[in-house]
């Protein structure tokens, strides 16, 4: 895949993972949105890790991946979408519920015909839910999936190497 990332690229991307996971192919080739050179996070692992100590535990691998800039970039992208979006829809929902219970006069205010503020707000909740679902899926697909998949194989490769290639 992204060999432009300036890290050693062993045969892992081409060979083993495909054997392990039939879905790898579909993801890597099927969706065609290139993450774009600008978006692709920097290299994952220091190369020394690959020859890594036979005695290193799985715990070290995960700690190391967690500290890597590539992982932190994925985590940052996830959190920077989810945190504000969560706060926004939760506040909007709680506001709606509180308004419905404490300010029924406001909610009963007519807008057009039989449609009042309450009806507009209720349908608005539907609309924002559909919209945010779409936005989240799009964001994850374009901004996280590719980087996460690469990290997945890197991590599995490392934990596998640790087990002496047994699995």
Partner 1 sequence: MTGEHQTLALLLFSAFVAVTLAITTWVSRNRRGSAEEFYAGGRLFTPIENGFAIAGDYLSAASFLGVTGLIALFGYDGLLYVVGFLVAWLVVLFLVAELVRNCGRFTLADVVAARMRERPVRIAAGTSSVTVSVLYLVAQMVGAGSLVALLLGGTSEVASAWTVIGVGALTVIYVSLGGMRATTWIQIVKAVLLLGGTIALTVLVLVRFHGDLDRLLLTAAERSGHGEAFLAPGLKYGGDWTARFDFISLGLALVLGTAGLPHILSRFYTVPTARAARRSVVWAVGLIGGFYLMTIVLGFGAAAVLGPDAVRGSNTAGNTAVPLLALDLGGGAGSTGGTVLFAIVAAIAFATILAVVAGITLASSASVAHDLYASLRRRGKPHSEVAVARVAAVGVGVVAIALGLLARDLNVAFLVGLAFAVAASANLPVLLYSLFWRGFTTRGAVWSVYGGLVPAVVLVVLSPVVSGSPDSLFPGVDLQYFPLQNPGLVSIPLGFLAGWLGTVTAAEVPDEAKHAETEVRSLTGAGAA
Interface ranges with partner 1 (CB under 8 A): 21-23, 27, 57-60, 62-63, 65-66, 71, 74-75, 78, 82, 85-86, 89-90, 93-94, 96-98, 100-102, 104, 107-108, 110, 113-116, 118-119, 122, 125-126, 129-130, 132-134, 136-137, 140-141, 144-145, 148-149, 151-152, 155-156, 159
The string over 90-111, giving b where at least 16 C-beta atoms fall within 10 Å of a residue's C-beta and e elsewhere, is eebeeebeeeeeeeeeebeeee
Cβ-based nearer residue to partner 1, 14 or 91:
91
Tokens representing 148 are 């996460």
In the complex, minimum distance from the CB of residue 47 to partner 1, in angstroms, rounded to a whole number:
19
Tokens representing 65 are 């991946």
Cβ-based nearer residue to partner 1, 14 or 103:
103
Q: What is the CA radius of gyration of the chain?
A: 23
CA distances from 133 to 23, 88, 91, 120, 126 (A): 23, 13, 17, 20, 11
Overall residue count recorded for the chain in this entry? 167
**What φ, ψ does residue 10 adopt, rounded to 5°?**
-70, 180
Cβ-based nearer residue to partner 1, 16 or 156:
156
In the complex, minimum distance from the CB of residue 154 to partner 1, in angstroms, rounded to a whole number:
8
In the complex, minimum distance from the CB of residue 98 to partner 1, in angstroms, rounded to a whole number:
6
Cβ-based nearer residue to partner 1, 52 or 60:
60
């Amino acid at each position: 895949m992204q060999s432009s990332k300036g890290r050693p690229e062993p045969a892992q991307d081409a060979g083993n993972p495909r054997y392990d996971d039939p879905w790898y192919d579909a993801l890597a080739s099927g969706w065609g949105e290139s993450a774009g050179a600008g978006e692709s996070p920097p290299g994952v692992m220091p190369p020394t890790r690959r020859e890594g100590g036979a005695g290193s535990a799985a715990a070290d691998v995960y700690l190391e991946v967690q500290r890597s800039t590539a992982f932190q970039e994925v985590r940052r992208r996830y959190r920077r979408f989810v945190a504000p979006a969560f706060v926004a829809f939760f506040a909007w929902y709680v506001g709606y519920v509180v308004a419905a219970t404490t300010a029924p006069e406001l909610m009963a205010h007519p807008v057009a015909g039989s449609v009042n503020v309450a009806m507009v707000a209720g349908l608005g909740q539907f609309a924002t839910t559909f919209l945010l679902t779409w936005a989240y899926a799009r964001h994850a697909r374009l901004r996280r999936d590719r980087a996460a998949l690469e990290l997945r194989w890197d991590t599995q490769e490392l934990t596998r190497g640790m087990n002496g290639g047994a699995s």
